[in-house]
Amino acid sequence: MAITGRNLARWLRPGAVVAVLAALLATMYLGYIVDPEKNMHDFPIGLVNLDDGDTVGGEQVNVGDQIAASMVQQIPADKVALREMGLPELHRAMLNGEIYGAIVIPSDFTKRVSILGAAGVVPGDVDWPVITVETNPAAGAYATQIMLRITTQATDAANKAVGAQLLERVQNQLQPTSDAPATELSGVSRLALAEPVSVVVVPFRELPDGAGGGLSAFFYTLLLLLAGFTGAMIIHTMVDASLGFTPTEYGPWYVHYPATPISRVRTLLLKWGILVVVAPVVSAIYLGVATLLGMSIERAPMLFLYGVLAIVAVGVTALSVLAIFGAAGMLVNLIVFIVLGLPSAGGTVPIEATPQGMAWLSTFEPMHQIFIAVRAILYYDARASSGLAHGVGMALLGLLIGLVIGLAATIFYDRKGLERRAVPAAAKQ
């Protein structure tokens, strides 16, 4: 066959599509993983100040208030959403996955600081003033790492500030009232008072064994999405081959059945029906394999049911896209469900540590909606407020959209007489 300009464009087209897809993949995947902390915005951390204060030298002092005010000023507001809250609100926020951790100043903090100052020159037992950093392991391992780096910088600065005030106060107390020589602090006392606060890191709620360090929810989400996405592709291809719309080829074996006289609507309904039958089977297989491998699943029936819903919602929408766009629908599905879905899922890098564009994608991308529901079932006692209600609602909305666009497009094609039939050879020329 002679290569003409028209033929050349035909052969270059696949390469151009691959190049564009590769550029999109590189931009999305590398863009969210290269420097997450640079991309941080609205990263939620709690601050709980329970300090009751103490009377020091006849004056009411509250060191916890000073530290809290200092942290509000020091922690960058353009990157971190520092939420001052009480203890009950902290527990609710942790259980709902609304924050990645919290800094807690206890009620006896000022008293312990005062006692430590006195213990620099007076013998006796003493306890270190303590600030607790509570992590939320269920929110993700990488989110915990970022949270700890932020809180470490904040508590280090607070420690030095409290130490400077404490040293000054103790030295003032040691100044003689007469011509007697001043009492000097020992080197060990000076060192202890310079950084008097002990920072204790504790998990708010430990993840169970078999949770993959908080990654099991993400990978289970990926399995559900792939079941719907790839399942739709397989069903679409095999049904079309059986109906004679595309050839069937396995190695050297090739067959092309005669086209079946069936409308586009009925074809789509057939594919949807197969998907609905297969979805519970696949969800049960996932659950069985996960159980055999020792994955922690406390609410297996709920995970099974949500798995069925997620597979059906993704698969129905993917089949509708294929019915609308034909072969090009495979590329559309790949971009919507995989290329844009993985970086905006929030399962590895938290949404608040990704570029703003990916955070926007997470508001509607299917993978993120499925992830927060699966995470709620596995880690947050299936609380509706921890993401389960949102995930179920978005899955139902996605299913409704898939049903509407699929039926609307195929009915329109059928009424316009746009039947699926082979093009005569004369027409190709």
333, 321 Cβ separation under 8 angstroms:
yes
Residue 199, CA distances (Å) to 128, 371, 392 in order: 10, 33, 40
pLDDT at 15: 86
Residue 303 reports pLDDT greater than 80: yes
pLDDT at 156: 86
The mean pLDDT value for 171-193 works out to 56
pLDDT at 429: 45
Work out the pLDDT band at 36, boundaries 50, 70, 90. Answer: confident
Among 30-39, 111-120, 157-166, 375-384, where is mean pLDDT lowest?
111-120
Residue 419, CA distances (Å) to 8, 243, 276 in order: 30, 13, 26
Residue 10 reports pLDDT greater than 50: yes
Please give the Cα distance from 81 to 353 (Å, whole number). 12
- Spell out where 99-194 has E strands: 101-105, 130-135
Among 37-51, 110-124, 198-212, 274-288, where is mean pLDDT lowest?
110-124
136-149 confidence digits (pLDDT tens): 999 888 899 999 99
Among 43-47, 64-68, 384-388, 398-402, where is mean pLDDT lowest?
64-68
Instruction: Specify the pairing of strand 43-49 against strand 80-84.
Output: parallel
Tokens of 112: 């312990």
pLDDT at 181: 54
Please give the Cα distance from 349 to 325 (Å, whole number). 33
45-62 confidence digits (pLDDT tens): 999 999 888 877 677 888
The mean pLDDT value for 304-324 works out to 97
pLDDT at 120: 55
The mean pLDDT value for 239-264 works out to 87
The mean pLDDT value for 389-407 works out to 97
Residue 93 reports pLDDT greater than 90: yes
Please state the φ and ψ torsions of residue 208, each to the nearest 5 degrees: -70, 165
% of the chain beyond a pLDDT of 70: 87
Which pTM value belongs to this model? 0.87
**Mean pLDDT of all residues belonging to the chain:** 86
Please give the Cα distance from 160 to 157 (Å, whole number). 5
Instruction: Specify the pairing of strand 130-135 against strand 101-105.
Output: antiparallel
Residue 129 reports pLDDT greater than 50: yes
